[in-house]
């Protein structure tokens, strides 16, 4: 079945540092890929998505590229802020509109 | 007001009690979902519904039931709560147009503690 593996956290960075959160997946066919973010005390919200190979999703300075050859969708940001502290979830959808989520990676950014 | 509203936001109950978590949405979406979040386990799908007459089990449906009372309302029930059902529960919605790419819209969550 479908599965998503993402790096365990917490990831602790200083403000303005470069961020990478790794995500790899296993799926049949050609899934759509997503990154969701969960701020403290809130529900999840879509951060970015990519629907086909080589697509790059981007939003709020974050970006991720759909790499079919490595089955990966790593999240990156060039300069993190304290306000980026949250839990980040990688997810995929391979039909029927039900998402499969990774376990989440907590990001902590200090001033 | 939130587009996806969950009630209650917090609930503490005892083993064996019946609990209902309710979800209502004003987004006009046809698809609704219940997920459970546990630390270190991510989100796992409990049940989902693509329209009022369609109910489907997710990966962890045992011990839960659902009711789709209307397009806008989808409730989750625990008939006899047990401590390992202590978790954060999320309702989510999507519509057919965005549903094909999988985008979900989440409520703020209902934290349930079973003693």
Residue A107 predicted with pLDDT over 80: yes
The residues, any chain, with a CB within 8 Å of residue A48's CB and separated by 6 or more, are A34, A35, A57, A58, A59, A62, A63, A64
Interface check for A81 against chain B (CB to CB < 8 A): the answer is no
Of B31, B42, B108, the CB nearest to A102: B42
Give the SS3 label for residue A84: helix
What is d(CA A9, CA A106) in angstroms, rounded to the nearest whole number? 5
Which residue, among A9, A2, A20, A12, has the nearest Cα to A104 in the 3D structure?
A9
Which residue, among B107, B50, B72, has the nearest Cα to A44 in the 3D structure?
B107
Summarised one tens digit per residue, pLDDT across range A67-94 is 999 999 999 999 999 999 999 999 998 7
Interface check for B43 against chain A (CB to CB < 8 A): the answer is yes
Of B40, B101, B109, the CB nearest to A51: B101
Residue A56 predicted with pLDDT over 60: yes
Is A35 within 8 Å of A57 (Cβ atoms)? yes
User: Predicted confidence band at A97 (pLDDT cuts at 50, 70, 90)?
Assistant: low
What is d(CA A93, CA B56) in angstroms, rounded to the nearest whole number? 16
The residues, any chain, with a CB within 8 Å of residue B39's CB and separated by 6 or more, are none
DSSP string for residues in B57-98 = E-TT-TT-EEEEEETTEEEEEESS--GGG-EEEEEEEE-HHH
Of A45, A97, A104, the CB nearest to B106: A45
Average pLDDT of chain A, as a whole number: 93
What is d(CA B23, CA B94) in angstroms, rounded to the nearest whole number? 14
Residue A26, beta-bridge partner list: A3
| Interface touch A98/B58, C-beta < 8 Å | yes
Per-residue pLDDT of chain B (115 residues; tens, 9 = 90+): 669 999 999 999 999 999 999 999 999 999 999 999 998 888 999 999 999 999 999 989 999 999 999 999 999 999 999 999 999 999 999 886 655 666 889 999 999 999 9
Is A87 within 8 Å of B88 (Cβ atoms)? no
**Percent of chain B as helix, strand, coil, to the nearest 5:** 5, 55, 40
Q: What is the pLDDT of residue B108?
A: 93
Nearest residue on chain B to A40, alpha-carbon basis: B108
């Amino acid at each position: 079945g479908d599965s998503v593996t993402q790096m365990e956290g917490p990831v602790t960075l200083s403000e303005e540092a470069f961020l990478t959160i790794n995500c790899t997946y296993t799926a049949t066919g050609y899934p759509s890929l997503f990154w969701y973010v969960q701020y403290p005390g809130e529900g999840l919200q879509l951060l970015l998505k990519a629907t086909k190979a080589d697509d790059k999703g981007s939003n709020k300075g974050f970006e991720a590229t759909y790499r079919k050859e490595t089955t990966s969708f790593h999240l990156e940001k060039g300069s993190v802020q304290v306000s980026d502290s949250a839990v980040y979830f990688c997810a995929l959808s391979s039909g029927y509109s039900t998402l499969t989520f990774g376990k989440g990676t907590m990001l902590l950014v200090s001033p | 007001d939130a587009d996806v509203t969950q009630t209650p936001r917090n609930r503490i109950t005892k083993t064996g009690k019946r609990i209902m978590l309710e979800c209502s949405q004003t987004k006009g979406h046809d698809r609704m979902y219940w997920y459970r979040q546990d630390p270190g386990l991510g989100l796992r799908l409990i049940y989902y519904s693509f329209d009022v007459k369609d109910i489907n089990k997710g990966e962890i449906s045992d011990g839960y039931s659902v009711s789709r009372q209307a397009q806008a309302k989808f409730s989750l029930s625990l008939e006899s709560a047990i401590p390992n059902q202590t978790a954060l529960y999320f309702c989510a919605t999507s519509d057919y147009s965005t549903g094909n790419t999988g985008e979900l819209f989440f409520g703020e969550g209902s934290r349930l503690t079973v003693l």
